[in-house]
């Protein structure tokens, strides 16, 4: 061989070597196992981006109680969302009244004087960006009506009957379904109900209520629900959205926030007692995201939903202080409930526990039973505070609440808070305070770049196991322009392998935010986007789903050779006996792996692999169109040792039966 040939061969083998990525070894060792939290993967629901009203809560009428206010949005008022209609020669007047409310929590109603009925005088509501109806589906209409008089308005008497026609109409006024109800004397609030069946599908229908005789009538709490709510619950949840959440198989659900809990000033703190009981008696209010929350999806509906989807409730109450960003400040707006009011506030917190778990003969347990749930809800955890600024005011109030819960309900585990970021002053002070009080669990939050998640895979490896456990209550990888890319989802998946590895100290984790109505986004990225007719899971949604469906209660030591942007974890699920291996490749190139399973005897032919990947790291799941990335399941041949090539930008979950 001459020198030229030798040089050529050398170059070719060098090129071949560099073209083929190095095989990475992944070793799972069943002899080095430790118990981990079986409840690691859950969800966090907050009413932002119209997640509740106009979202998960199935109410189709917007501003049903005439309680919108200019403090929520400058152009809003009690008649926002409503249009006064006078049909076919009808004539009358509409105004808002607060002299005869259904109850003090619901002060406004609409008063309509029908001077001449014509083809009808009344109100039309276009819902939240249109009322979506489906041909053949039934809708439950209800209204609180109080007939003030009947007649022509000049010579009228408050006796008799006033018929109301209730219609679903197209935007142009074509009738899609109709029913009638009748208001009648005596002049007291009465709930009238009817069922309407839609004759056609229309994503943009209207609800129209027309008085068909002259008179004066007060209307309030005008409501329309699809009969087909999730599990058919009354005052229920939108079936497709609730199902998408149920399909995540969350182990727990945190609710109702987020910043919404501690609110925009102490008068805006979320008060759970305002959210239970008959909906017309609940106290809606502005939410911190600057729109109205009807609290129709309140604590009862939340606990019921948890039960329906098999998730543990993890409610959060404010720590006696408001959001530090209250009144459009940044970090300086924390307000504290006065010491004089703290005993009552603490009692509210204790009452929540009694409401959830108390016997039916306790005063709050009786209210739960009266609402339709005599059995206790089985509350075990209670969050106190959200990302609060660590001030003396906060510390004093948190301690009072914490000690009252410990004294009266030692069976409840309190989850504390350590500020809004993964490091910094509030984080450090928060941990110091939690250490001092021995708070059992603390809630850490972080919204960071995908690279941050890769850089922090060892964050919990050295956490002191003698201190508080961790709830990663809010996290998301935020890619450029806050897009929900495959890159971000894969970074989250890699991070979740590190949470599994540290599942002895990290007890819970929930990606955030959960829901986003595409037309009212307050925050990006999100797990599930939706509009009135469609539900669009992001790629991160599938990471959560795969993690939850493939969680375990024992971590098996998983060692990875020198691999660059690559992470792996393995767990065993004692319920099924299955062994689950998660492999996350964050590189733009495929990664050849040599996997060894030490101390594990697998059952031949039992393994499947589920792969989540897409064309490149930048892809996002579009609204409406086919997803750019979603999990694909197929069988895989495995043995004590086997090879597998992890696709570029991918999460692979290998699940196998083992002895
Ligand atoms: O998830 C959105 C917001 O992010 C939450 O309300 C708050 O807790 C966090 O800062």
pLDDT tens-digit map of 333-369: 999 999 999 999 999 999 999 999 999 999 999 999 9
Residue 151 CA to residue 185 CA, distance in Å, equals 13
Q: Calculate ∠ Cα 302-470-478, nearest 5°.
A: 75
Q: Please compute the mean of the pLDDT values over residues 113-137 and round it to a whole number.
A: 97
Which protein residue has the closest C-alpha to ligand 1 atom 9? 258
- Ligand 1 atom with the smallest distance to the CA of 447 is 4
Query: Angle CA(393)–CA(284)–CA(254) in degrees, nearest 5?
Result: 60
Question: Which ligand 1 atom is at minimum distance from the Cα of 288?
Answer: 6
Q: Where is pLDDT greater, at 364 or 161?
A: 364
Q: Is 54 in the pocket of ligand 1 (CB under 6 A)?
A: no
* Confidence band, pLDDT 50/70/90 cuts, at residue 3: low
Q: What pLDDT was estimated at residue 516?
A: 98
Ligand 1 close to Cβ of residue 387 (< 6 A): yes
Mean pLDDT of 229-236: 98
Backbone angles phi, psi at 499, to 5 degrees: -70, -35
pLDDT of 20 above 70: no
For 82-226, the fitting CATH number among 2.60.120.260, 2.10.60.10, 3.30.1360.120, 2.70.50.60 is 2.60.120.260
Task: Answer whether 611's CB lies under 8 Å from 647's CB.
Answer: yes
Check residue 604 and give its pLDDT: 85
Is 387 annotated in the active site? Answer: yes
Spacing, Cα 504 to ligand 1 middle (Å): 26
Q: Which one has a higher pLDDT value, 103 or 13?
A: 103
Whole-number Å distance, alpha carbon 446 to ligand 1 midpoint, is 9
Q: How far is the CA of 65 from the centre of ligand 1 (A)?
A: 28
Cα–Cα distance measured from residue 114 to residue 209, given in angstroms and rounded to the nearest whole number: 13
What pLDDT is stored for residue 186 in this prediction?
A: 82
- Quick: pLDDT tens for 619-656: 999 999 999 999 999 999 999 999 999 999 999 999 99
386 Cβ closer than 6 Å to some ligand 1 atom: yes
**What per-residue confidence (pLDDT) applies to 155?**
46
Q: Which residue puts its alpha carbon closest to atom 3 of ligand 1?
A: 258
Peptide bond into 124 cis (omega under 30): no
Ligand 1 centroid, distance to 224 Cα (angstroms): 31
Note the pLDDT of residue 421.
Answer: 98
Confidence bin at 159 (pLDDT 50/70/90): low
Ligand 1 touching residue 309 (CB < 6 A): no
How far, CA to CA in Å, does 215 sit from each of 90, 121, 222, 429, 504? 12, 10, 19, 64, 69
Ligand 1 pocket check for 145: Cβ under 6 Å = no
Q: Is residue 15 over pLDDT 50?
A: no
Q: What is the mean pLDDT of residues 510-518?
A: 96
> Does the bond joining 513 to the residue before it have cis omega, within 30 degrees of 0?
yes
Q: Is 419 in the pocket of ligand 1 (CB under 6 A)?
A: no
Atom of ligand 1 nearest to the CA of 473: 8
Does pLDDT of 464 surpass 50? Answer: yes
In this model, does residue 499 exceed pLDDT 70? yes
Q: How confident is the prediction for the chain on average, in pLDDT?
A: 95
Strand partners, 458: none
First to last CA, the chain: 56
pLDDT at 153: 44
Taking the CA of residue 474 as reference, the ligand 1 atom at the shortest distance is 1
The size of the chain, in residues, is 659
In this predicted structure, which of 7-16, 99-108, 179-188, 331-340 has the lowest mean pLDDT? Answer: 7-16
CA distance 486 to 538: 9
Considering only CA atoms, give the Rg of the chain.
Answer: 29
Please work out whether the CB of residue 46 comes within 6 Å of at least one atom of ligand 1.
yes
- Cα-based distances in Å from 428 to 373, 390, 417, 418, 423: 42, 9, 11, 8, 7
Checking if the pLDDT of 331 tops 70, the result is: yes
Determine the Cα–Cα distance for residues 222 and 61; give it in Å rounded to an integer. Answer: 7
Pocket of ligand 1 contains residue 385 by CB under 6 Å = no
pLDDT of residue 21: 76
Please report, for residues 43, 432, 440, 600, the alpha-carbon distance to residue 40 in angstroms, rounded to integers and kept in the order given.
10, 24, 16, 24
Look at residue 9 and tell me whether its pLDDT is greater than 50: no
> What percent helix, strand, coil does the chain show, rounded to 5?
25, 35, 40
Q: How is domain 21-37+556-657 classified at the CATH fold level?
A: Immunoglobulin-like (2.60.40)
Q: Which of 45, 263, 447 to mutate to test the pocket of ligand 1 (most atoms within 8 A of CB)?
A: 447
175 Cα to the center of ligand 1, angstroms: 43
Question: Is 420's C-beta closer than 6 angstroms to any atom of ligand 1?
Answer: yes
Sign of the torsion angle spanned by Cα atoms 285, 307, 254, 611: negative
Closest residue by CA, ligand 1 atom 10: 420
In the predicted model, is pLDDT for residue 10 greater than 90? no
Q: Whose CA is nearest to atom 4 of ligand 1?
A: 258
Give CA 494 to chain center in angstroms. Answer: 23
Is the predicted pLDDT of residue 659 greater than 80, yes or no?
A: no
Ligand 1 centre to CA of 523 (Å) is: 9
Residues near 392 by Cβ (< 8 Å), separated by ≥ 6? Answer: none
Residues of the chain above pLDDT 90, percent: 92
Residue 150 scores a pLDDT above 70:
no
Structure confidence by residue, pLDDT tens digits, 535-577: 999 999 999 999 999 999 999 999 999 889 999 999 999 999 9
Q: Which of 51, 258, 482 to mutate to test the pocket of ligand 1 (most atoms within 8 A of CB)?
A: 258
Residue 615 DSSP SS3: coil
C-alpha separations of 84 from 63, 110, 337 in Å = 14, 10, 42
User: What confidence score (pLDDT) does residue 160 get?
Assistant: 79
CA of 44 to the centre of ligand 1 (A): 10
Which residue's C-alpha comes closest to atom 1 of ligand 1? 513
Q: What is the mean pLDDT of residues 486-514?
A: 98
- How do residues 261-282 score in pLDDT, each as one tens digit? 999 999 999 999 999 999 999 9
Q: What is the pTM of this model?
A: 0.95
> How far is ligand 1, taken at its centre, from the CA of residue 520, in Å?
16
Distance CA 38, CA 473 (A): 16
Domain borders along the chain are 21-37+556-657, 82-226
Which member of 67, 387, 444, 500 is catalytic?
Answer: 387
| Ligand 1 neighbourhood includes 313 CB (under 6 angstroms) | no
* Ligand 1 atom nearest 260 alpha carbon: 6
Confidence bin at 11 (pLDDT 50/70/90)? very low
CB of 259 closer than 6 angstroms to any ligand 1 atom: yes
Q: What is the mean pLDDT of residues 489-498?
A: 98
Task: Using the mean position of ligand 1's atoms as its centre, give its distance from the Cα of residue 226 in Å.
Answer: 31
Percent of the chain's residues with pLDDT above 70: 95
């Amino acid at each position: 061989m001459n020198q030229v040939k030798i040089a050529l061969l050398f170059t070719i083998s060098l090129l071949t070597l560099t073209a083929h990525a190095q095989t990475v070894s992944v070793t799972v060792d069943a002899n080095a196992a430790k118990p981990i939290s079986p409840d690691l993967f859950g969800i966090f629901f907050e009413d932002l981006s119209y997640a509740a009203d106009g979202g998960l809560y199935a109410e189709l009428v917007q501003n049903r109680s005439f309680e919108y206010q200019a403090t929520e949005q400058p152009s809003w008022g009690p008649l926002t969302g409503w249009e006064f209609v006078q049909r076919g020669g009808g004539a009358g007047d509409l105004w808002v009244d607060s002299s005869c409310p259904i109850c003090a929590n619901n002060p406004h109603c609409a008063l309509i004087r029908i001077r001449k009925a014509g083809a009808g005088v009344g109100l039309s509501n276009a819902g939240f960006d249109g009322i979506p109806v489906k041909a053949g589906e039934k809708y439950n209409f209800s209204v609180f009506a109080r007939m003030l008089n009947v007649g022509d308005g000049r010579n009228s008497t408050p006796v008799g009957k006033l018929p109301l026609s209730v219609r679903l109409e197209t935007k142009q006024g074509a009738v899609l379904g109709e029913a009638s109800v009748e208001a009648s004397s005596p002049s007291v609030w009465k709930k009238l109900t009817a069922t309407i069946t839609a004759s056609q599908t229309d994503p943009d229908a209207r609800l129209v209520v027309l008085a068909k005789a002259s008179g004066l009538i007060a209307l309030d709490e005008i409501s329309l629900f699809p009969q087909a709510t999730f599990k058919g619950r009354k005052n229920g949840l939108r079936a497709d959205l609730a199902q998408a959440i149920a399909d995540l198989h969350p182990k727990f659900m945190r609710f109702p926030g987020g910043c919404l809990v501690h609110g925009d000033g102490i008068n805006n703190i979320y008060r759970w007692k305002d959210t239970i009981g008959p909906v017309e008696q609940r106290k809606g209010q502005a939410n911190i995201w600057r729109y109205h929350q009807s609290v129709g999806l309140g604590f009862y509906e939340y606990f019921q939903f948890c039960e329906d989807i098999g998730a543990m409730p993890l409610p959060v109450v404010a720590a006696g202080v408001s959001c530090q960003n209250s009144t459009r400040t940044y970090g300086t707006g924390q307000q504290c409930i006065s010491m004089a009011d703290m005993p009552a506030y603490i009692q509210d917190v204790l009452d929540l526990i009694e409401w959830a778990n108390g016997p039916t003969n306790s005063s709050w347990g009786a209210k739960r039973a009266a609402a339709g749930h005599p059995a206790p809800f089985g509350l075990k955890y209670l969050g106190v505070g959200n990302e609060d600024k660590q001030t003396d005011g906060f510390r004093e109030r948190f301690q009072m609440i914490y000690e009252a819960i410990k004294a009266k309900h030692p069976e409840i585990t309190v989850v504390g808070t350590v500020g809004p970021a993964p490091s910094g002053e509030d984080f450090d002070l928060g941990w110091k305070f939690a250490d001092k009080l021995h708070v059992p669990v603390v809630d850490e939050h972080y919204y960071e770049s995908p690279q941050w998640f890769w850089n922090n895979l060892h964050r919990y490896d050295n956490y002191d196991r003698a201190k508080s456990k961790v709830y990663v209550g809010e996290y998301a990888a935020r890619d450029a322009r806050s897009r929900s890319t495959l890159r971000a989802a894969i970074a989250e998946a890699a991070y979740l392998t590190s949470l599994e590895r540290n599942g002895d100290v990290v007890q819970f984790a929930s990606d955030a935010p959960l829901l986003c109505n595409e037309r009212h986004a307050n925050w990006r990225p999100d797990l599930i986007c939706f509009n009135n007719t469609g539900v669009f899971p992001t790629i991160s949604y599938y990471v959560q789903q795969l993690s939850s469906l493939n969680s375990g209660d024992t971590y098996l030591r998983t060692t990875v050779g020198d691999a660059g942007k690559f992470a792996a974890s393995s767990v065993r699920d004692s319920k099924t006996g299955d062994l689950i291996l998660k492999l996350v490749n964050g590189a733009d190139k495929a990664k050849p792996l040599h996997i060894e399973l030490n101390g594990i005897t697998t059952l031949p032919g039992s393994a499947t692999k589920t792969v989540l990947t897409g064309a490149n790291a930048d892809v996002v799941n579009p609204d409406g169109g086919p997803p750019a990335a979603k999990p694909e399941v197929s069988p895989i041949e495995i043995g004590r040792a086997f090879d597998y090539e992890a696709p570029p930008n991918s999460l692979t979950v290998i699940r196998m039966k083992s002895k």
